[in-house]
């Protein structure tokens, strides 16, 4: 590791989601992010989740939104990719949590038959005349 390399990695919890950071990301923001990510992926009824979340803080003082995040997760058989940018670390993590929750819910419920409309009677669905 060189003197200019500012990459840090938080240990992966039982959820299987790795949290990585580039730039001057403080420990408080990493802990806050870990709590929020674990809350999203640790919900009951969600299939196995694995992947990586990458937080970055730009060192450029002129950047309007120096914080950015990329999350690439596997939720069951589906891949979820979420991007976020914000002015502060807490704002970024809150945006990331909202987007991850929405996308993981969508991935968890994708392909379920209970969300489809019933087949019409002329296609042999419920209440068909030939039944």
Maximum C-alpha span of the chain: 77
User: What band does 50 get if pLDDT is binned at 50, 70 and 90?
Assistant: very high
Identify the structural domains of the chain with CATH numbers, from first to last: 1-18+49-109 (3.30.160)
The answer to pTM > 0.85 is no
Which of these, 109, 7, 2, 105, lies nearest to 52 by C-alpha position? 7
Interval 97-127: pLDDT, tens: 999 999 998 888 876 555 567 777 888 877 6
In the numeric block, the tokens 């704002």 are attached to: 91
Q: Is residue 4's pLDDT more than 50?
A: no
In 3D space, the residue among 96, 112, 99 whose CA is nearest the CA of residue 45 turns out to be 112
Quickly state the pLDDT bin for 44 (edges 50, 70, 90): confident
């Amino acid at each position: 590791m060189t003197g200019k390399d500012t990459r840090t990695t938080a240990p992966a919890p039982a959820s299987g989601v790795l949290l990585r950071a580039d730039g001057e990301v403080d420990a408080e923001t990493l802990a806050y992010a870990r709590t929020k990510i674990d809350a999203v992926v640790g919900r009951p009824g969600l299939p196995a989740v694995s992947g990586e979340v990458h937080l970055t803080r730009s060192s450029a003082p002129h950047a309007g939104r120096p914080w950015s995040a990329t999350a690439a997760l596997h939720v069951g058989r589906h891949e979820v990719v979420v991007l976020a940018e914000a002015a502060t670390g807490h704002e970024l993590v809150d945006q990331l949590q909202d987007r991850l929750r929405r996308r993981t819910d969508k991935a968890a419920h994708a392909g379920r038959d209970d969300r489809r409309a019933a087949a019409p009677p002329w296609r042999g669905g419920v209440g068909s005349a030939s039944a």
